Amino acid sequence: MAEATQLTRHIESYVDSSSSLTHQAATLNAIAALVKTDALPLQALVRELDMYLTTTDNVIRARGILLLAEVITRIESKPLDSAIIHSLVGFFKDRLVNWRAVRGALVGCLALIRRKSVVGMVTGSDATAIAQSFLQYMQVQSLGQYDRKLCFELLDCLLERYSDVVTTLGEDLIYGICEAIDAEKDPECLMLAFHIVESLAQLYPDSSGLLASFAKDVFDILEPYFPIHFTHPSSGDTPVQRDDLSKSLMSAFSSTPLFEPFVIPLLLEKLSSSLHSAKIDSLKYLRVCSSKYGAEKIAKYARAIWSSVKDTLSTYLGEPKFSFTIAPVDGIGFPENEIGIEALSLLQQLIVQNSKKKKLHAIGRILYITAKSTISSCNAVFENLFSRMMDDLGFSVSNADSFSNGDIFTSQRVKFGFLYLCIELLAGCKELIVGSDKPALQYVFEHETCCIMLHRFSTQLLNAFGSVLAVSAERCPLDPDIYIGVKGLQILATFQSDVFPIQKSIFENILNKIMSIIMEDFEKTILWESALKALCHVGSFVQMFHESEKAMSYRSLVVEKIVELLSLDDITLPFSLKVEALSNVGMTGRKNMLTILQGLGTAVLANLSKVHRNVRSSETAVQLLECYSCKLLPWIHENGGTEDFAVQFALDIWSQAGNCMDFSAPFVEKGLLDAIMKAMKLSVGSCVVESQNLIIQNAYSILSSHTNFQLKEVETLPLTPGKYDISLRDEGIISLFASVVVAVHPKTHIPDIRVLMHLFIITLLRGVVPVAQALGSILNKLVSTSNSAENSGDLTLEEALDVIFNTKICFSSTDMLQRCNGTSNGNEMVLTDICLGIANDRLLQINAICGLSWIGKGLLLRGHEKIKDITKIFMECLISGTKSALPLIKDSLENTEEQIQDPLVMKCAADAFHVLMSDSEVCLNRKFHATIRPLYKQRFFSSVMPIILQLITKSYSSLSRSFLYRAFAHIMSDTSMVAILSEAKKLIPVLLDCLSMLTEDIQDKDMLYGLLLVLSGMLTEKNGQEAVIENAHIIINCLIKLVDYPHKMLVRETAIQCLVALSELPHARIYPMRTQVLRAISTCLDDTKRAVRYEAVKCRQTWWVHNFFFIECVQFYLVQLLLYLPIFTFLLDLLIGRQCHPEVFISEVQYQLP
C-alpha cells in the first residue's frame, strides 16, 4: 500500500503543473523504473491514473495523458502484450481529437509506433488507425513548434516503418502531408518534413502512380524553400545547420523523377540569379538530380543546362587573378572557385552518366567551350576530366610511358566516346592558345596544367587516333571513327609551336600516318578524302602561322612525297587521286605550290617525251595538264604568285614540242593536243607582255625550224594550197602556235605577222580551226591605221584585212585546176570566193566558211565595218540554193546543177552565226585580252535581223528557208531580251515557224530550247505583251505542239510554263483556245517526268478558271433568260453557233434586256 501511496504522490507531483521541470522528470523516471522492473504492472498504473486520464479538467487530463505516454516512451524495450498495445493505441489515437491533450497523445502514439517487433509492436491495422486519426483530426500548423516536430516525427515514423499499410490511405495521406508541411518554417521541423516528402516519393515510385497527379502540388510546397536561406546565426544553439537543410531539401527534390518537369526549370532559373548561394545550390542540385532522374529525362534540358552552365563558368572562371611573380600553377586562386568546381563536377556527372552518342555531342561542345574560354577553366577541365578520361582509355599517369602501341583498345564503343571528348577538349584548348596573342600569356602556357598533361599524353593520343583509323583485312573503320581519328590527328598537328611545342617527332609521325592513308587506303573513299582534307588543313596552318620547322617537315614529308608519287608507276594509287592530292596540297601555300608546279612540270614533260611510245603516258599528261589549267594556274593567279613558272612551263612545252618533231611518230592524239593547247593559252594569257614576247619568239623559232612550212617562201610565192596534205605533227605545232597567238596581249609583238597570216590562211583551208581562231584574234587585237602612227613597223588592221581578203590563192595542183576552170581569174581566187563555192570543192568551202566565221567574230567584237561584208557572204551561201540567187554567183557559174548549194555548206553558214554570236570559252574573251565593244550583239542583231527576215519571206525553197531559220535561231538565242522586245511584233511569227521547224530533227533540241526560252522571256516581259496579244492564237497553237516534245524534258516544261503565262492575257483573246489547251495539257498530266506533271497541273488550274468564269456568267443570266425566251434563243445561238467570249456575250445580253 505504501507503494500505492508513493505512486499516487509521484503522479500528483507530475500532474501538478506548478512543480519544477527537474522534479517532474525525477518523478517520471521513478514511475518508469517501477514499471520497468515489474514492480508496477502497466495495467495497475493505468488504473491508478484513471481519474487523471478522464477528468474534465483539461490541464490535469493533459498532464495525465502525457505521463502515461512518457512512461511508455521510457519502457520501449520492455515487452508488452499485444492486447495491451492494442488498447493503448486505441486510447492514444482517440486522444488526438482533443487538442488540449494532443501532446500526450502524440508522444504516446510515437512511442508505440517506434516499438520494435521483439518487444511487441503495433499491428498494421492499428498503425493505419493512428494514421487515419492523425490525418483526420490534426491541424499541424496550428500547433506549437515542439508539437509540430512531434507530428512530423510521427508521420516520418509511420511512413518509414509502416510504409506498406499507409500506402493504402492514398490521396488522404498525400493531402494530409501537404497540409502538414505547408508553410512550415522551423528548421528542425523542415528537416523532418523534407524527409517525409522523400519517403513519400519512395512510396509511390511509378510514373503513372498516385503521386504523379500530385507531384505539382507537393512540389509547390517545396519550391519556396529553394534556395535555403538561413537567417539564424550559423553557430547558434540550433542544432540544424544550413547545409543539413540544403542537403535534406536536395534529397527531397531528387527523390522522384516525377518532380523533374518542375525542378529543372526552377534550378535553371535560380542558376541565373545573382545570389551566390543560389548558384551553388542550383549546380549541386542539378548534379544530384540529373544523376537520380536518369539521362533520358535530363536529355531534353541539355541545351538549357549547358547555356546556363556556360554563363556561370564564363562569369566565375573568367577572371583568373594570378600574378606573374607567384607564377606556379597552384598559386592561381580565383575567388569564385567553388562555383566553378561545382559546375565542372556537374558536367562530369553528365558525362559519366551518358555514353550515348547524341548526348556525347552536347558534352563535347560543353568541353570545347569550357576549354576554350579561359586558361583556368581549361586547366580545371584538364585536371578534372582529362586524366580521368586517360585513365579510362587505359593510359594512366603512372604508366604513361610504358604504353606506346595502340593495341590496348578492347571495347571500341566506349573508347569512341572518350576519344570524341578528347578531341573536343583538345580543339578547345587549341582555340584558346591560338586565340591569345599576348606574349606574356603565351609564356605561361607551357607551364599550365593542360599543356603539361597534353605533353605527357601526346604520344598516346597519337597512337590512339592512329589505331582508330587502322584499316585491316577484317576491319574497316566506320565513318564516325574516321572522323575522330582524322580530326584528332589534325588537331594534334596544328598546335602552335611557339606557344606549345609539340615534339617534332610527333608532328612527323602524324604526317607520316596521314600520308600512309593517302597512299594506301584510297579504296575507302571517305577515309581518303578526310585524310586529304586534314593534310591540307595542317599545311595551310603551318603556312599561316609561319612555323618554319614544321613547314620544313611538311615540305619534305608531304609535298615532296606527293610530287614523287607522280613519277612512281608501281604504286597502286589511281592517277586521278594522285592529281587531286597534288592540287589540294599545292593550294596550302605559295611555296608548296611552287614545289608542286615544278614537280608537275617535270612530270608533264617526262610524259610528253615518251608519249609516242606509251599510250598511258599520254593519258597521264592529259590529266596533269587539266589539273594545271583548271586548278593550279587559277589558284596561283588569284594568290598573287609570280608568273615565272607559267613562262617557264610554256617554254618547256615548246622545247618539248620541238623535240617531238625529231621522232617520226604522229605528234599526239586529239585529247592531248587540246589539253596542251588549253594549258598553253592559259599560261600565256596570264603573263605580262614581255614574257609573252619571249614565248612567242621562242615558239616562232620552233615553228620555222621544226616544220615543213617554208616560212621564208610563203610571202614571196603566191598562196597555194597545193601541197594539200600537211602532216599531223605540223598541224599540231601550228595549232599550238595558234593558241599562243590567241592568248597574247594586243601590245605583244608577233614576229613576221604577214607571213604567219599567209600560213594561217593556207592551213585554215585545211580545216585547222585553231588557226582560224588565231586569225580572228589577230584581227581583233591589231591597231587600225588612224591611231597607230608611232610604230609604223607593225602591221595595221587595214593591211591585215587586205592580206586576208585580197590575197590570191593559187590552185596549182592539177586536180584543183580542172575543177575551177570556170572562174574568171583562171586558177586564182580570194578567200571569200572560196566561201561562195567557186572552187567547187565542198570541203574547201566548208573550211573557208568556218574560218571566216572566226575571223568575223574577231571583227564583230571590235565593231568593225567589215563584218557586214562577211555576213553578206554567209547570207549568200544560205540563199544561193534558190533561183533568185545573187547575180555574183549567177555570172560566175555556168552549170546550173552546181548552183544548188550543198546542204552541208548551208548548215555550216547558218552555224557561222552561232560562232559569231555566242560567247566562246576558247578564244576572243576577256581572259585572252580580246577587244570587246559594248553592246556589240545588239548592234549586230539590229543590223542583221531585218535582212534575215526579208530573206526568209522571199525565199521559196524550203531548204534554204530552213537554214535561214537556223541562222535566225542562233542570233535570237544569243541576243539580249531588250533588243528583241523592241522588235517583238515582227519576230514572233518567224520565231514560231522556226520553233516548229526545229522540232523535226532531234539534233536541234538544244537550239529549240534556247529559242523557246526567248519566247518565254517575251511572254513574261511587260513590253512584249502587246505583240503577244496579237499573236496569241498562233503562239498557243505552237506551244500545244511542244508540250509533248519527246526528246527534251526542259522543252516540255518551258512550253507549259509559257502556256501558264499566256493565261494572264485578256480573256477575250484566249478564251477560244481554252478547250484546245486543256485537251493538250491533260495528256501532259501523264508525263513521265514529275516536274512536267507539276507544271501541267498548275497550267490546267489556271486555264480552268476561265471555264468557271464563263459558267458563272451563264448561270447568272440563265435565270433572267428563262423569263425572256426570245433572248434565250439568241443565247443558244451564241453558245452553239459562235464561240463567243463572255464579255461580248454579257454586253449583248444586257443590251437586249428591257
Q: In this structure, what DSSP letter does residue 719 have?
A: B
The residue (of 926 and 1090) whose beta carbon lies closer to another protein is: 1090
Cα Rg of the chain, angstroms: 50
Taking the complex as a whole, how short is the minimal distance between the CB of residue 1107 and another protein, in angstroms?
Answer: 11
229 binds another protein (CB under 8 A): no
CB of 1143 to another protein, least distance (A): 22
Stretch that binds another protein, among 165-173, 817-825, 908-916, 1096-1104 (CB under 8 A): 1096-1104
* Cβ 1097 to another protein shortest distance, Å: 5
Of the candidates 839, 855, 843, 840, which has an alpha carbon nearest to the alpha carbon of residue 800?
855
Closest approach of Cβ 595 to another protein, in Å? 43
Stretch that binds another protein, among 186-194, 287-295, 638-646, 1087-1095 (CB under 8 A): 1087-1095
How far apart, in whole angstroms, are the C-alpha atoms of residue 851 and residue 834? 11
User: Which of 117/1088 has CB closer to another protein?
Assistant: 1088
Residue closer to another protein by CB (options 833, 1087) is: 1087
Residue with smaller CB distance to another protein, 75 or 1092: 1092
Give the three cell numbers for residue 872: 553578206
807: left (phi over 0), alpha (psi -120 to 50) or beta: beta
Long-range contacts of 671-675 (CB under 8 A, 24+ apart): 671/618, 671/622, 672/611, 672/618, 672/621, 672/622, 672/625, 673/732, 673/735, 673/736, 675/621, 675/622, 675/625, 675/626, 675/629
Q: How far apart are CA 507 and CA 487, in angstroms?
A: 14
Shortest distance, position 215 Cβ to another protein, whole Å: 23
Of the candidates 1096, 1098, 1110, which has an alpha carbon nearest to the alpha carbon of residue 1143?
1110
**Residue 739: which of 847, 600, 731 has the closest Cα?**
731
Smallest gap from residue 1096 Cβ to another protein (A): 8
Dist. CA 882–CA 884, nearest whole Å: 5
Tell me the C-alpha distance between 59 and 338, whole Å.
54
Minimum Å gap between C-beta 1105 and another protein is 10
Instruction: Write the Ramachandran bin of 929: left for phi over 0, alpha for psi from -120 to 50, otherwise beta.
Output: left
In the bound state with another protein, the residue whose beta carbon lies nearer, of 700 and 1103, is 1103
Report the site for another protein in 831-850 (rule: CB under 8 A).
none
> Measured from the CB atom, is 366 or 1081 closer to another protein?
1081
> Toward another protein, which CB reaches closer, 483 or 1104?
1104
| Min CB(847)–another protein separation in Å | 41
Interacting residues with another protein between 684 and 713 (CB under 8 A): none
Nearer Cβ to another protein (575/1104)? 1104
From residue 122 to residue 151, what is the string marking binding to another protein with x (rule CB under 8 A)? ------------------------------
Pick the closer one to another protein by CB: 1018 or 1092. Answer: 1092
Minimum distance from residue 1028 beta carbon to another protein (Å) = 24
Scanning 521-529, 717-725, 937-945, 1089-1097 for contacts with another protein by CB under 8 A, the matching segment is: 1089-1097
Binding of residue 1090 to another protein (CB under 8 A) = yes
Number of residues that bind another protein (CB under 8 A): 15
Taking the complex as a whole, the smallest distance from the CB of residue 1053 to another protein amounts, in Å, to 12
- The residue range among 382-390, 490-498, 959-967, 1092-1100 that interacts with another protein, by the rule CB under 8 A, is 1092-1100
What grid cell was written down for 683?
Answer: 599560261
CA–centroid distance for 533 within its chain: 16
Q: How many beta carbons lie within 10 A of that of residue 783, not counting itself?
A: 17
Cα gap 840→533, rounded to integer Å: 61
Q: In angstroms, give the least distance from the CB of 1093 to another protein.
A: 7
Of these, 36, 1093, 1134, 1148, which contacts another protein (CB under 8 A)?
Answer: 1093
Closer residue to another protein (CB): 453 or 1081? 1081
Between 892 and 1076, name the residue whose CB sits nearer to another protein: 1076
**Residue 826 contacts residue 805 (beta carbons within 8 Å):** no
Closest distance of CB 1059 from another protein, Å? 13
Burial of 142 (0-12, 13-18, 19+ CB in 10 A): exposed
Looking only at residues 23 through 42 of this chain, which bind another protein when binding is defined by CB under 8 A? none
Q: Which of 1089, 1120, 1138, 1139 binds another protein (CB under 8 A)?
A: 1089
Between 958 and 1083, name the residue whose CB sits nearer to another protein: 1083
- The x, y and z cell numbers of residue 362, run together, are 552536347
| Min CB(791)–another protein separation in Å | 59
Nearest partner of 735 among 710, 768, 759, judged by Cα:
768
- Full DSSP string of 828-867: EE-HHHHHTTTT--HHHHHHHHHHHHHHHHHHHHHT-TTH
Q: Choose between 904 and 1091: whose C-beta lies nearer to another protein.
A: 1091
Contact residues for 913 (Cβ-Cβ < 8 A; gap 6+): 853, 874, 966, 967, 970, 971
Nearest distance from C-beta of residue 1091 to another protein, angstroms? 8
Looking at 172-180, 349-357, 862-870, 1094-1102, which segment touches another protein (CB under 8 A)? 1094-1102
User: Whose Cβ is closer to another protein: residue 1084's or residue 1140's?
Assistant: 1084
What's the closest the beta carbon of residue 1082 comes to another protein, in angstroms?
6
At residue 668, φ and ψ (nearest 5 deg) are -160, 165
Which C-beta is closer to another protein: that of 438 or that of 1090? 1090
Contact 1026, 985 (CB under 8 A): yes
In the stretch 1047-1086, what mask flags binding to another protein with x, by CB under 8 A? Answer: -----------------------------------xx-xx
CB of 1085 to another protein, least distance (A): 4
Taking CB under 8 A as the rule, which mask of x and - marks residues 1097-1126 in contact with another protein? Answer: x--xx--x----------x-----------
Q: Nearer to another protein by C-beta: 51 or 1091? A: 1091
Calculate the dihedral angle through the C-alpha atoms of 147, 152, 154, 158, rounding to the nearest 10 degrees.
170
- Contact partners, residue 257, CB within 8 Å, separation at least 6: 207, 292, 293, 294, 297
Cell numbers at residue 125, please? 491495422
- H helical segments located in 865-923: 867-879, 887-892, 896-899, 903-917
What is the per-residue DSSP string for 978-1022?
A: HHHHHTHHHHHHHHHHHHHHHTT-GGGHHHHHHHHHHHHHHHHST
Considering beta carbons, is residue 841 or 1087 the nearer one to another protein?
Answer: 1087
Distance of CA 930 to the CA centre of its chain: 39
In whole angstroms, the minimum distance from the beta carbon of 1049 to another protein comes to 10
Q: Site residues (CB under 8 A) for another protein?
A: 1082-1083, 1085-1091, 1093, 1097, 1100-1101, 1104, 1115
